[in-house]
Chain A
Amino acid sequence: MLTVFCIQLHAGVATKGIGMFPSDKLASLRKLLFEMEQDLGLADLSGIQRDVYYAARLTAEGAEMVRGEAIRSHALLNRISRPTFYRALKDLELAGYLSHADTTRSGKYRLLR
């Protein structure tokens, strides 16, 4: 019950932000704090998360936004199952590498770094 609530809270925060902090500013704050974690040696991306991130970057080809399905079809991710892929996308979102586009139903992600 608590997990469901927190997932919904996170989804709400990701799309609308919290009060005064719109979601883009929150995402930037999370990105900054994640860089701090990495610089202090506390954060690592797993192999799968790295592959999904690289696939996203390569698929985007310099664009700011990229479709989830387009990332999924990249050759780097051939051996990754669909649930694993979407779990890695969620992890990257939480870590501040990606964020959902303005409408989560668009299936698009914004590359934050």
Chain B
Amino acid sequence: MTGAIELFKQTIGATIVCLIAISITWLFVPLQDHIGYRYADHLAFMIYFPHGCRLLISWAFGTRSALLLLPSAAIEEATMHLLGHFPYVLVIAIVLSVSPALAFLISASLGYESRLKYNSRTHWRRLLLLGFASSLIETVTLSNLLGWTSQQFLVWWLSSWLGVLFTLISLMFGFRFWRLWMTK
């Protein structure tokens, strides 16, 4: 029972974090429109912050992150693609929530264990690489399922990885300012 409650709390937490991330991503849409990469033309974000959050949650919670991330991915896709496309929404949500965990598992099977539970010394550069790999897994899978063009493939892949990079950079500066402010 305690385990189920813990899982429930973690799922709520993961959902809140990822929904905040997608909200922040939407805030950047006017900026990307302004520099010429119109959201309406590509139906894609330039920087996709939720992927960064999903990667960090996978790093921290390992394989169970696939469960923790599913609700937020489903909500996000449902609100963007309308509930009428429910089966597609669910498939996309599953791919989004499983890809980061899969990247960590593949990395571990190749001898590069990076999940926090098994390796407390994971370097940030390795997380960036794993972000790159997980966005590739995600993009290849969705591209094959949904029949994307090569441009859609590249845009999705790049925006996911940029999401990882900018999430890490944002958190780094966030903690830095917090630390400097607390030690004033």
Contact = CB atoms under 8 A, between A and B. Distances in A.
Interface string A13-46: 0000001110001001110111111011011000
A58 interface: no
B122 interface: yes
Interface residues of A, number: 26
Contacts of A39: 124-125
A29 B13 contact: no
Given A20-B13, A43-B176, A33 B168 contact: yes
Contact of B127 (A7, A32, A43, A94): A32
Given A28-B120, A36-B172, 19 more contacts: A6-B181, A19-B16, A20-B10, A20-B14, A20-B68, A21-B13, A21-B60, A25-B116, A28-B60, A32-B123, A32-B124, A32-B127, A33-B172, A33-B176, A35-B124, A42-B172, A90-B183, A94-B179, A94-B182
A21 B12 CA distance: 11
Contacts of A112: 120
B9 A33 contact: no
A71 B60 CA distance: 30
Given A29-B60, A33-B175, A94 B124 contact: no
A42 B173 CA distance: 10
Contacts of B17: 20
B56 interface: yes
A51 interface: no
What is the interface of chain A mostly: helix, strand, loop, or mixed?
helix
Given A6-B182, A33-B168, A19 B9 contact: yes
Interface of A: 6-7, 10, 19-21, 25, 28-30, 32-37, 39-40, 42-43, 87, 90-91, 94-95, 112
Interface residues of B, number: 27
Contacts of A87: 183
B40 interface: no
Nearest to B168: A36
Given A7-B182, A32-B124, A42 B176 contact: yes
A25 B62 CA distance: 12
B35 interface: no
A7 B179 CA distance: 11
5 contacts: A20-B10, A20-B17, A32-B127, A35-B123, A94-B183
A20 B60 CA distance: 11
Contact of B56 (A6, A29, A35): A29
A37 B127 contact: no
Contacts of A34: 175
B176 A37 contact: yes
A58 B16 CA distance: 42
